[in-house]
Structure 1
């Protein structure tokens, strides 16, 4: 069984990260597009000052998430063919992490905006808090709690004679 080289590993990490960013980019762009059209809808003038403030937070967070999630593309263009893949992967990782943080803020703010518009404010705050916790569980708590999920399997595969023989 052949092991990948350092260069191949960085290339694979970059390809994996780009695929993850494609998924996140689609979600944040849909939210951003929705937020961009909202002020032009008929019901928006009825929004309270609080709702308009929440809207601005959601809009700016979605814009920040979009900028951070797309920024690895610009960084890649600037570093193209300079042999700096490790630096690019580290930068893209930091931007993806920051972008997801802003996306969390945008999503929770959007939920607060909509629920505050149609429900009583205490219920809107409760539902928004539940939404925030929900995102944190799936985006932070579970991934970090399960970082070593595959360790037992990797150990077993290394001891398997078929794996060692290259089958």
Structure 2
């Protein structure tokens, strides 16, 4: 059966177009986005805490005294970037506490999201440096570098490239 031509009076009315997005105020949207961000930060903070804890323990191991200058430099960079990552991922909590009740939740969410992205970037670099340091101890330097580069590309793809692609590909133009 052929579809009815449009404009006929006896044709059944077409269903209303589906609504896009949510029916929420700017404050409701900020509250929802803040709750989403907190859930994301809980996952990231756990990762940075575990990695940072391993780095803290490593310096007290007897094998640490036998590390060369390159591995000590890798360790130092990883610890410093790990601390910066922890600061960036915990920063949104401090920000929220300092501005709570000031009626700037939408702006707070934007700033906190930037902190979280920075923290994830720092966490990725910390992970790569830590992996390189550990693999240099366990494997040939060249193999350690190749494996670490592979993991670095994998993290970049999962944490940055794929989300950016999805945002561009699936975001409505309306």
**What TM-score range do you get, normalising by the shorter chain?**
0.7 to 0.9
Say if 2:45 and 2:89, in contact at 8 Å, map to a contact too: yes
1:73-84 to structure 2, matched below 5 A, reads 73-84=93-104
Normalised to the residue count of structure 1, the TM-score between the two structures is 0.86
Structure 1 partner of 2:77: 57
Say if 2:45 and 2:90, in contact at 8 Å, map to a contact too: yes
More helix by share: 1
Say if 2:41 and 2:116, in contact at 8 Å, map to a contact too: yes
Which of 158, 163, 170 is equivalent to 1:138? 158
- Equivalents in 1 of 2:163, 2:56: separation in Å? 32
Which of 28, 44, 68 is equivalent to 1:24? 44
Deviation sequence 1:50-84 (CA, Å, 0-9, x none): 11100011111110000000011111111011111
Give the structure with higher Rg (CA).
2
- Equivalents in 1 of 2:32, 2:157: separation in Å? 27
Which of 89, 95, 113 is equivalent to 2:109? 89
**Distance apart, 1:140 and its partner CA:** 1.1
Runs (4 or more) in structure 1 with deviation over 2 Å come to: 148-152
CA RMSD in angstroms comes to 1.7
* Secondary structure at the counterpart of residue 146 of structure 1: helix
Structure 2 runs not aligned, ≥5 long: 1-18
**Distance apart, 1:147 and its partner CA:** 1.8
Say if 2:88 and 2:118, in contact at 8 Å, map to a contact too: yes
- Equivalents in 2 of 1:10, 1:101: separation in Å? 24
Structure 2 partner of 1:114: 134
- Equivalents in 2 of 1:114, 1:4: separation in Å? 49
Say if 2:26 and 2:106, in contact at 8 Å, map to a contact too: no
Structure 2 partner of 1:103: 123
Structure 2 partner of 1:12: 32
Higher relative contact order by CA 8 Å / sep ≥ 6: 1 or 2?
1
Structure 2 partner of 1:129: 149
